[in-house]
A and B are shown apart, each in its own frame.
Chain A
Amino acid sequence: MTTDAIKDRTGAGVLGRTLGRMLGRQGSGTQFVMGAGLLAAALWALNGGPFLNLVGQSCAVYAVAAIGQSVLIGSAGQIALSGAAFMAIGAFVTGSLAGTPLETFPFPLLICAVVGWLVGLLSGLPGLRFRGLYLLLSSLALQFMVTAVTKNYQSARHPAGLEVPPLHIGPLDVSTGQSFYIVLITLLATVYLVVALVERTGVGLAWRAIRESEEAAAVSGVDAVRWKLYAFAMSGAITAVAGCLMAYLVGRADYETYNLNLSIALITMIYIGGIRSRLGALTGAVIITALPYILQLRLPGWLAGLGIDANWYTENQSIANAGLFNLLFLLVVLFEPEGVQGLLGKAERLLRRTLSGRRTGRTTESPA
């Protein structure tokens, strides 16, 4: 999408040209399939009853977090393993606002965004001096620091976790089922659009340039320091908002939820879906969030069908799933670094080649 940032869009034929370009470009089919698939899944979850509503709610919350991470890691090309820390910040801010005048929605959400922005900005400061491994280590330090602080705070004041009141918008109780799901999807769409708009302003192009080479971007006139910090800040704000939503989803903030495994899971999401796009982040979030539910429901049956005892899996589900995700992550990094989007892209290229091959075979004209 950022490709369009410096294209001319004057004249009345914008729609026609946009459509023509959208369909003509390699990758447009992939985007269409992913978008349509996500939309279908979203509608299915909406009308599929309480259980699917619940799965859909988790997917939406993690999708917001995945977009937050993809801004930093996918768009701006930075390295960080602190997604869970920012979610924890969001959840704990929301939890500690409970019982204060600011517990009214959307105050917690906005405050989370501001706090996440500020902490994100701070977390980006080491990135001005360090790259690669050192940056990764500093993000790990943040992760452990936040875990330590939230753990102490929690055990000192609320051993069972900070309680978060059911979500109300005005007089309306939207804390469960379809209504909560709709709220989450609306917020997800908003976050998605905001990021898309920001990237359109040219910031997206600046991030891409920084991702490819910071020095080369700076030499080309891009204020690499500034846009890098904005990527950290924006990612922090969005991920903290996801933490806030997570707190509403489970009704409490508990430090144990937001551990390093969650940070890794968030990274896995954006890699599995396709690191290069927000659509990929959404897809990855849905896959990684929904997979455990599917496995939990179906895997014992499948294993039994194969004559394998499923007890071990049912008893060690979280470990088994974590192992499975790590394996998936490895497979993606090794064989398809662009994730689901990359796979679909390859299929599309093949299809396009076959189709255009047939067309040029029939007519004698060939493109110059």
Chain B
Amino acid sequence: MNADSEVKTDARRLRVDGVDVDLGGVRILRGVTFDVRPGEVFGIVGPNGAGKTTILNVIDGIVRPSAGTVRYGDVDLCRVRPHDMRKHGIGRSLQSTHYFRDLTALQLVALGELPNSIVGALRFAGHRKRRKAQAEARDKGMEALRQFGLEQYANRPLSELSSAVQKLVDIARAVVTGGELLLLDEPTSGVSGHERGGIGEALRRLRTLGRTIVLIDHDPGFVTGNCDRLMAMNFGEVLDVGLPDEVMSSEAVKRSYLGESANTDVGIERDL
């Protein structure tokens, strides 16, 4: 399936180069460098607080790096505002789905279709065109929900749905916003064992569709089983990048996990 997607002529590579991030006077990322090839699933693992989410925040424009560059194809992502990422085909799912409670599943997946200017809003509301614009937003949202078998939840508030369903809705939203590159932040966290299957299946389908995916997860089994290449990190630094099995058996990675287990028992269960 990789061969398939690499045939795509407009396929773009994501390059994160020497990224430092300082937040609140603390260095959170230190010289983070990696490439994500078009069509691959790129996994990121690391203990709590390693900086995994921050990497996605940097790619996504939520956090600006204090040094380094992020490029997608020939676009400098550090100059793109978060809500414009969709214009470059980038979508992002969130680690916590507790953000949105009142919104319905359909409203969430259609958020990206909302107008982002007064003129757009007027057109959205305008007499004849409103129907068209709103129906289009709705259709696009329903289509995304249908892809994940979620149409029956369309009009239910997110707070009423189980975490697994919330996660899937959020992935559906990311898929609507990002046609090409998906940044998935722990799609299985808070999801029980047998429900993970559904999320894994969704991932595999996206992969056969040729989407490029950056996948973070706490469950190394899940990541290694679903990614082409893996990056391990700790304390804001990259420990190793390579084939999943190699990375998981590398000395540095073992030490970071074992070191943590020696200091604290908590967290190891979640992380490994």
Genuine A/B complex: yes
Known pairs A6-B134, A209-B100, A212-B102; A219 contacts B94 (CB<8 A): yes
Check B131–A213 contact: CB distance below 8 A: no
A202 touches B135 (CB 8 A): no
Q: Nearest Cβ in chain A — how far from B150, in angstroms? A: 16
| Distance in angstroms between the alpha carbons of A224 and B124 in the assembled complex | 18
Question: Which residue of chain A lies nearest to B115 when distances are taken between CB atoms in the complex?
Answer: A202
Q: Which residues 71-120 in B have Cβ within 8 Å of A in the complex?
A: 81-83, 85-86, 92, 94, 99-104, 106-108, 110-118
Binds B, one of A7-15, A46-54, A175-183: A7-15
Whether, in the assembled complex, A317 has its beta carbon less than 8 Å from a beta carbon of chain B, the answer is no
Which residue on chain A has the smallest CB distance to residue B111? A220
17 A-B pairs (CB sep. < 8 Å):
A5-B107, A6-B107, A200-B125, A201-B115, A201-B124, A203-B121, A206-B111, A208-B102, A212-B102, A213-B100, A215-B82, A219-B82, A220-B108, A221-B83, A221-B85, A221-B114, A226-B117
**What's the dominant secondary structure at chain B's contact region?**
helix
Bound CA–CA A216/B57 (angstroms): 11
How far is A6 from B138 in the complex, measured between Cα atoms in Å?
6
Q: Is the CB of B122 within 8 A of A201?
A: yes
> Given A201-B121, A219-B62, A220-B177, are A206 and B114 also a contact pair (CB < 8 Å)?
yes
**Contact in complex: B103, A221 (CB < 8 Å):** no
Contact: B106 with A6, CB < 8 Å?
A: yes
Interface code B168-182, partner A: CB below 8 Å = 1, 0 otherwise? 000001000100000
Residues of B within 8 A of A198 (CB): 121
CB contacts (< 8 Å) of B141 on chain A: these are: 6
B94: chain A residues at CB < 8 Å are 216, 219
Q: Is the CB of A5 within 8 A of B112?
A: no
Q: What's the Cα separation between A197 and B124 when bound, in Å?
A: 11
Does A222 touch B at the CB level, under 8 Å? yes
Say yes or no: A221 contacts B99, CB within 8 Å.
Answer: no
Given known A6-B106, A201-B115, A215-B62, contact A223–B101 (CB-CB < 8 A): no
Q: Is B20 an interface residue (CB 8 A)?
A: no
A269-286 contacts to B (CB < 8 Å):
none
Q: Chain A 189-230 against B: per-residue CB contact (8 Å), 1 yes, 0 no? A: 000000001101111011011001101111111111110001
Q: Which residues of B contact A220 (CB under 8 A)?
A: 83, 108, 111-112, 173, 177
Decide if B40 is an interface residue (CB 8 Å cutoff): no
Q: How many residues of B contact A (CB 8 A)?
A: 39
B116/A223 in contact, CB under 8 A: yes
- The smallest beta-carbon distance between A230 and chain B, in angstroms, is 8
Selected contact of A197 from candidates B101, B104, B125, CB within 8 Å: B125
Q: Which residues of B contact A201 (CB under 8 A)?
A: 115, 121-122, 124-125
Contacting A at CB under 8 A, from B40-88, are 60, 62, 81-83, 85-86
Least Cβ–Cβ distance between B50 and chain A, in angstroms:
19
- Complex Cα distance, B141 from A205, in Å, reads 14
Q: Report A-chain residues with C-beta under 8 Å of the C-beta of B83.
A: 218-224
- Among B114, B118, B125, B177: residue with most chain A CB under 10 A: B114
A217, B111: Cβ atoms closer than 8 Å: yes
Q: Smallest CB-CB separation from A223: which chain B residue? A: B116
Closest Cβ neighbor of A216 among chain B residues: B99
CB pair B134–A9 under 8 Å, yes or no, is yes
B137: interface (CB < 8 Å): yes
- Interchain CB contact under 8 A, A218 and B62: yes
Is A3's CB within 8 Å of the partner chain B?
yes
Distance in angstroms from B229 CB to nearest chain A CB is 24
Find residues 129-149 in chain B having any chain A CB closer than 8 Å to their own CB: 131, 134-135, 137-138, 141
CB distance from A306 to the nearest CB of B (A): 44
- A205 touches which one: B114, B122, B173 (CB < 8 A)? B114
Assembled-state Cα–Cα distance A213/B101 (Å): 10
The 3 lowest CB-CB distance pairs between A and B, nearest first, are A221-B112, A213-B99, A201-B125
Report B-chain residues with C-beta under 8 Å of the C-beta of A225.
Answer: 81
Task: Flag if B121 contacts A221 (CB, 8 Å).
Answer: no
| Distance between Cα atoms of A5 and B138 in the complex (Å) | 9
Chain A CB within 10 A, most for which of B60, B122, B125: B125
**Which residue on A lies nearest to B94, using beta carbons?**
A216
Q: List residues of A (288-303) whose CB comes within 8 Å of B's CBs.
A: none
Q: Which of A7, A212, A219, A230 contacts B103 (CB 8 A)?
A: A212
State A139–B81 Cα separation when bound (angstroms). 26
Which chain A residues lie closer than 8 Å to B115 at the CB level? 201-203
**Complex Cα gap A218–B101 (Å):** 16
In the complex the two chains form, is A222's CB within 8 Å of B92's CB?
no
Residues of B within 8 A of A7 (CB): 134, 138
A40 to chain B, nearest CB (A): 30
Closest A residue, CB atoms, query B177: A221
Is B82 within 8 A of A6, CB to CB? no
Residues B201-217 near A (CB distance < 8 A): none
Minimum Cβ distance to chain A for residue B73 (Å): 20
Interface centre among A6, A202, A218, A222 (most CB of B within 10 A): A6
Q: Which residue of A lies closest to B90 (CB)?
A: A219
- 6 A-B pairs besides A6-B138, A212-B102, A219-B60 with CB distance below 8 A are A5-B107, A6-B107, A6-B141, A8-B131, A197-B125, A198-B121
